[in-house]
Amino acid sequence: MKTTRLISTIAFAFALLLSFNAEAQKFSGLDKSPMDAASFPSNYKESNKQIKIVYSRPQLKDRDVYDLAKPEKVWRLGANEAAELQVYTDMKLDGKDVKKGTYTVYAIPGKEEWTIIISTDLNVWGSYFYDEKNDVARITVPTTEGDESLEAFSIAFEESDKGADMHIGWGTVRVAVPFEKK
Domain map (residue ranges) of the chain:
28-181
Residue 60 confidence (pLDDT): 97
Q: What pLDDT was estimated at residue 126?
A: 85
Output the pLDDT for position 128: 87
| pLDDT at residue number 30 | 82
**Regions in the chain scoring below 70 on pLDDT:** 1-24, 43-46
Burial class (CB in 10 A: 0-12, 13-18, 19+), 11: exposed
The whole-angstrom separation of Cα 41 and Cα 54 is: 15
The per-residue pLDDT for range 125-151, each reduced to its tens digit, is: 888 889 999 999 999 999 999 999 999
CA distance 112 to 133: 26
Residue 79 pairs with which residues in a beta bridge?
Answer: none
Full strand arrangement of the beta sheet holding 51-56 = 35-40, 51-56, 83-87, 101-108, 113-119, 135-159, 163-181, 91-93, 96-98
DSSP state of 75: B
What does pTM read for this prediction?
0.83
Residue-level pLDDT at 28: 82
Count how many Cα atoms sit within 13 Å of the Cα of residue 182 in the half-sphere of its side chain.
15
Do residues 150 and 139 lie in contact, with contact meaning Cβ atoms separated by under 8 Å? Answer: no
